[in-house]
Structure 1
Amino acid sequence: MFHTPDYYHNTSMRLSEVLDDIAVNENMVMKRRRAALLKETIDTITHRADGKQVTVYHLGSRSEGTTTQRLKSDIDILCSDNDNIVIQDWSEWTPGKHNHLMIQNETTPGYCLLQELRDDAPLPVPHEMGNYFVKDTSGRILCTNTIIDAAVFEGEQRQGPSAASAKPGFLASDAVIAFPCISWPKSSRAWLHQQEINIWPTAEMKRYATTTKCFVVGVGSKVSENAAFEWRISTSLAERCLMFNLNLTQIRCYILMKIILKTYINVENLDNESYISSFMCKTVLFYCIASKPTSVWKECNILNCLSFCIQTLKRCILEGNCPHFFDHENNLMAGKISTVVKRQLLERMSNLIPCNGILLFGIQIDNLGERLQIKLNMINEVHHDICQPNEYNMDITAGLSIFTVVDISRNHYELIHSTKDKSLEMKLKILLHILLHLTRYYRDGDKLEKTACRLLAPLYCTSIGSLIASQNIQINRTVSPQALTWLEAGQDSDVASSRLKQASIMYCTGDMERVAFILSHIEEQYNTEVTEPVCGCYNFHHTSFKRGFGQLCCQYDEAEVKYIAALCVRFFPAEVNCVPHELQYEMFRSTREDLLHRGGRDNDWMDCAVVDSLPYLYFLQYKAYGNLQRPEEQQQALNKLMWVFRKECNLGHRETALNLLGQCMEQENRPVDALQYYMLSLRHRERNNAAKIHICMCLANTIS
């Protein structure tokens, strides 16, 4: 393959050990993939339950397992709008769908035009139908890619084909709206049938690739005069198929390419723009794998493999051409690299060849350079912030687990929130329809779909029970057997939240003995050394994870994480009668001025009463024991509620819990302490905070 210096073998083996230490190993790659596949299944099932013909795919490095903890790869989401289909010829026209005829654009390979067709017959649309359609010189009505602007939410930006969002402390996400193709585009179809002497991709991989969908996404070529109504052809599912068939050395080479790219190539003085994308690196890797024997790609040879990939990337830059792996006519670098930038890139690439240990020593991402020097006995002192392998594994696994639980919570919230203007009867009808939908998926679905349904269903059972109970309490301050049956069915949602809703409902009926019994059981299940609070209301950033939680996440699979996670307890306005009056204030947290500062749809949860499970557990205990005339246990509950703020760093609704604690202090006739807690609450959330109401009421009561 190449002339191999003697030290390459040893450096390659030590480099492989370093990558294993930072969780680039088969176990963690598979964990990342399973988490991403489960999340896309949960998202798809939720959309379908809501009546939307959308299929969600989580693509890119996070779903492939080709990233590291510090590389901070984006979250790439492709939402296939299945009501809009793209056909290659008239025979594929489908009634009941919005059909678009693909017109391959020979001047810009990899892109196409979409001609609008009638919904009632396989015929062209004769005239424009709005701002998103134009007539070309041939009289065809074309769909412009600016139609995606209508789907970009507040707080997101249009970046190419996607609605991108990035907030401080969180990973960036790109959500791409795509139209599925009925069959593979002709330009890419040639790859499937071409006879090559290379053994990769294998015939089996190609056969599988033919079963995957292709898409078009709304973005034009940088070198096209007609970019506004061009659509890029995406073969992302076939690419994922190839990535899922890479061996560990090939995955590690790809990750190292991205790390080197971020460290040495895409840095500030190139106009802050990433001219060489990770997708180009992936394409280069595909060509390198296809051109070299499988026996080359092993851990003792990783440095040589990496050098070959870097050399191939440099050749692409030199020629100004990086051909798409499935459509060789599509140059991924077209229009992206000027002569000046090309010269700068080539200069930097020259410094990377030969790709040896010295180059890698300078990499700070995941402390890779320092770790490699330690492995090679070049330095003895270990830097204080270098995580041990088990810490890396726990941190990543815990993050993936939180990722799954948050998604369950958010999907449940979005569906319930969508019914906010419906009558109670209609709300219940919609929720029952959703549960019927989940039952069908569970009965007929694959393993991932069954897991997704088991995770989602209990939350909807609890919501149905709570809505019925709220109506019962309003009428006669009792809870019907029907409501209790639904609440019992939903108890398995997580460690505490659904049971706390049941306890809250019993509290509002005045059944304090039952409340105390339920809360006692919850407290037994809630291990404060292990259970992690999880908030799915907004982008809450976990500062760290409990060690016990991380250890159990490494042992559990994704479906079992609910036994060690506690969702926040969420009451929608229609459930107001299930909420103690102290918590009801949270539904009215926003003044007219505050509403102007909410920041869009991400803060719609503020219309609800939401509190973290653990402080709500102790608050309800305080209230129940007070009503039962058990002062000693009541004081213990109050002490535990105060303890939560000192020990629990991941409370998503800390300001709400502080407001509850303040009201407890008022009940204890300690108004000064109450005011201190309300002020502390305001420091956590300055606007849209019910603490303002409590401060006014506390001062008024004190004066009177």
Structure 2
Amino acid sequence: MAESATQTESIALYHYLRQNVVGTEKHVRTIRLMNNVRDNLQSNTTWTFITSGSFGDGLQTRGSDIDLMGVLKLIEVCEDAQTYFNANRIHFSMEVEDTQPGFAKLRLVHSNDKSILKDCYDINGNFYFSNLLFKQNFATDIFSTIHGPCMSDKAGVYDFASCLHCKLWITPAKQWIGRSNKSWPRYDIKQAIVKHGVLFVPVGVKGSTQEELEWRISFSVAEKLLIYSFTHTQLLCYAVMKILLKDVIALDIDCKELLCSYFMKTLLFWMCEELPSSIWKPENLISCFMRCFRRLIYCVEYSLCPHYFIPENNLFENKIQGQAQKTLLNKLSILNSYGWQCILLSDQVPNLNELASDIREETSYSYAKSLERLLSLQMYFVHSTCTSFDFLLEKTLCKVLSSKSSKIKYLYAEYMSKFYCKSERILPEDNTSYNKSTYKEYNTYISTLLLNTHHDAVSGWLMLSLYFYKRKQYNTALYIIQYSLSKCSPEKLHQFMQYSDIHHELFNLHVFRNMHIVQLWNFYY
């Protein structure tokens, strides 16, 4: 009977998290698709951009910041200096002999550009890449604070990490290929991970005598692919562990800095590899969470948290020890005495009775509102990292014309519509001449501005009216203004305005629930 009650509670918790905290499978897939489209839109011949962290995983939980990795294509890393390489690029070889597992020093092997030497230290005739000097090259007015391997904004909302790529899978992680041979991860996921290789981020072991010359080996892309392969139950279990960390454990000032989300992610990977896939079902969410929580207690008790790809790298080394270890272990033991209901200590999760009564479908309204917030945050990065308006336009048109997926086409058009609206180049200089050249420009601007009318109900049309006003076509401008005013209603005056109960009921109709995300945005904004 108790087991049956636990399954009922698991299903109630599963549905609550699915509808109110993490989102449905569709919601998570859309976030990931938005990230991938935006990453592709920003990437160019110099940089490949990768959304990482919680947003990169498809999680839009409270307190999540936005992490973006920029892979510099002009520099490549190889494990073996004899590996064939492109002579037009700068190449470093990795050295791991005198470094902690999971870290490497990068020695310059080849460069036609001597300016790279200013970011290197000469040690016995060999030039080693400084992670600090490399990071400082990317400091801007926006990203001005060094935070680990990242440059962060002053508010701590955005983290940008410049990193380097090794195209081949490295020896320290080769044991993972043969070790993880059960049902998870699948063979195709494993192959995709190995094919991508690894990244190197500019941060060394804190307190090391060679800290500035050490680079952390990053498996961010591999970890992203693993998270993408999660079932929704696995993803929700990961979310519960993050909520427990951020909302409960970290509230204790003595425990706040001891654990991080990456430890939770690593723990989930090990549990997913060890447990049969059949275990990860909605009715087992609580039991899976408790297994993960007790594994965390075990790791803290023995001060041992092996890195998932390089187990020799103990993530708890020099971190969870002494009095800090005793304090944290005591905190976890107290929470464990509550059983799974320790998660109810977070204000994101209601009490048991509310959980049981709150099983409902996600409305199309909340779905669109949530993703609109994400779109606005992401556009911040598009503007801060984009250097070529023409490049973006050409790339978007190619993707829209070549993609077979209507969702991807709509997302590219939506991103570009947002970008055009904020671009200084969207309106031409005053020019009333009428030759072939200006006629061609006229058609180009009209096409661009008409794209802009898709991004919301009012401002896109107002931009179009401003264009006609600048060309002294006043009647046309007035007509468009009148039309935009007819589209304007109180809830559309400001972004994220609160809608009435009538609007909620309307947006929950079947016709709206079947719309894709960009169609919903066009109705709501």
Aligned to 2:174: 189
Aligned to 2:54: 61
Matched, 1:305 2:288: yes
Aligned to 1:83: 74
Aligned pairs for 1:266-285 (under 5 A) are 266-270=250-254, 273-285=256-268
What's the C-alpha RMSD, in Å, of the aligned pairs? 3.6
Aligned to 1:226: 210
Aligned to 1:30: 29
Which of 328, 347, 353 is the matching residue for 1:373?
353
- Cα shift readout 1:161-184 (whole Å, capped 9, x = no counterpart): 0012253xxx82211111111212
- Identify which of structures 1 and 2 has the higher relative contact order when contacts are C-alpha pairs closer than 8 Å and 6+ apart: 2
Aligned pairs for 1:401-550 (under 5 A) are 401-404=372-375, 407-408=378-379, 411=382, 432=390, 434-444=392-402, 447=405, 450-451=409-410, 453-455=412-414, 466-467=427-428, 470-473=429-432, 480-490=438-448, 491-493=450-452, 494=455, 495-524=457-486, 526-528=487-489, 531=492, 542=496
- Cα shift readout 1:196-221 (whole Å, capped 9, x = no counterpart): 56332222221121233421000001
- Cα shift readout 1:223-277 (whole Å, capped 9, x = no counterpart): 5321111001111111111111111221111111111112332224217x43111
Offset of 1:160 from its aligned partner? 0.4
Q: 1:434 to 1:543 in 2, by over 3 A?
A: closer
- Cα shift readout 1:322-361 (whole Å, capped 9, x = no counterpart): 1111111111122222411100011011123256354233
Aligned to 1:262: 246
Matched, 1:100 2:92: yes
Offset of 1:295 from its aligned partner? 1.8
Q: 1:444 to 1:261 in 2, by over 3 A?
A: same
Paired-residue identity, %:
20
Unaligned runs of 5+ in 1: 378-386, 419-429, 535-541, 567-704
C-alpha separation in 1, matches of 2:313 and 2:470: 65
Q: 1:154 to 1:464 in 2, by over 3 A?
A: closer
Q: 1:287 to 1:532 in 2, by over 3 A?
A: farther
Counterpart amino acid of 1:57?
I
Whether the 8 Å contact between 1:145 and 1:218 is mirrored in structure 2 is: yes
Matched, 1:149 2:124: no
Greater shift, 231-240 or 299-308, is seen at 299-308
Whether the 8 Å contact between 1:35 and 1:400 is mirrored in structure 2 is: no
Whether the 8 Å contact between 2:303 and 2:317 is mirrored in structure 1 is: yes
Counterpart amino acid of 1:8?
T
Q: 1:95 to 1:551 in 2, by over 3 A?
A: farther
Offset of 1:319 from its aligned partner? 1.7
Aligned to 2:159: 174
C-alpha separation in 1, matches of 2:463 and 2:519: 21
Offset of 1:565 from its aligned partner? 7.2
Q: 1:299 to 1:96 in 2, by over 3 A?
A: same
Task: Give the secondary-structure state (helix, strand or coil) at the position aligned to 1:208.
Answer: helix
Counterpart amino acid of 1:181?
C
Q: 1:502 to 1:397 in 2, by over 3 A?
A: closer
Task: Give the secondary-structure state (helix, strand or coil) at the position aligned to 1:129.
Answer: helix
Aligned to 1:679: none
Matched, 1:323 2:306: yes
- Cα shift readout 1:52-88 (whole Å, capped 9, x = no counterpart): 51111111222323453xx321211111111111112
C-alpha separation in 2, matches of 1:522 and 1:99: 55
Q: 1:175 to 1:4 in 2, by over 3 A?
A: farther
- Cα shift readout 1:126-170 (whole Å, capped 9, x = no counterpart): x9932x31123x532101100202212225311100012253xxx
Counterpart amino acid of 1:27?
K
Matched, 1:17 2:15: yes
Size of the aligned set, in residue pairs, is 508
Unaligned runs of 5+ in 2: none
Greater shift, 233-242 or 329-338, is seen at 329-338
TM (norm. structure 2) is 0.85
Whether the 8 Å contact between 1:532 and 1:545 is mirrored in structure 2 is: no
Q: 1:557 to 1:530 in 2, by over 3 A?
A: farther
Aligned to 2:105: 113
Aligned to 1:697: none
Matched, 1:400 2:371: yes
C-alpha separation in 2, matches of 1:143 and 1:518: 57
C-alpha separation in 2, matches of 1:84 and 1:410: 23
Matched, 1:133 2:103: no
Offset of 1:120 from its aligned partner? 4.0
C-alpha separation in 1, matches of 2:426 and 2:360: 45
C-alpha separation in 2, matches of 1:456 and 1:298: 36
Whether the 8 Å contact between 2:185 and 2:226 is mirrored in structure 1 is: yes
C-alpha separation in 1, matches of 2:149 and 2:332: 29
Whether the 8 Å contact between 1:108 and 1:224 is mirrored in structure 2 is: no
Aligned to 1:164: 152
- Cα shift readout 1:276-300 (whole Å, capped 9, x = no counterpart): 1111111111111211222222122
Task: Give the secondary-structure state (helix, strand or coil) at the position aligned to 2:336.
Answer: coil
C-alpha separation in 2, matches of 1:409 and 1:496: 21
Matched, 1:290 2:280: no
Counterpart amino acid of 2:239?
I
Which of 196, 199, 206 is the matching residue for 2:190?
206
C-alpha separation in 2, matches of 1:545 and 1:446: 35
Aligned to 1:563: 522
Offset of 1:115 from its aligned partner? 0.8
- Cα shift readout 1:99-128 (whole Å, capped 9, x = no counterpart): 11111245401111111233249xxx8x99
C-alpha separation in 2, matches of 1:259 and 1:81: 34
Offset of 1:195 from its aligned partner? 4.7
Whether the 8 Å contact between 2:104 and 2:216 is mirrored in structure 1 is: yes
TM (norm. structure 1) is 0.65
Task: Give the secondary-structure state (helix, strand or coil) at the position aligned to 1:361.
Answer: helix
Greater shift, 438-447 or 72-81, is seen at 438-447
C-alpha separation in 1, matches of 2:153 and 2:513: 30
C-alpha separation in 1, matches of 2:55 and 2:384: 24
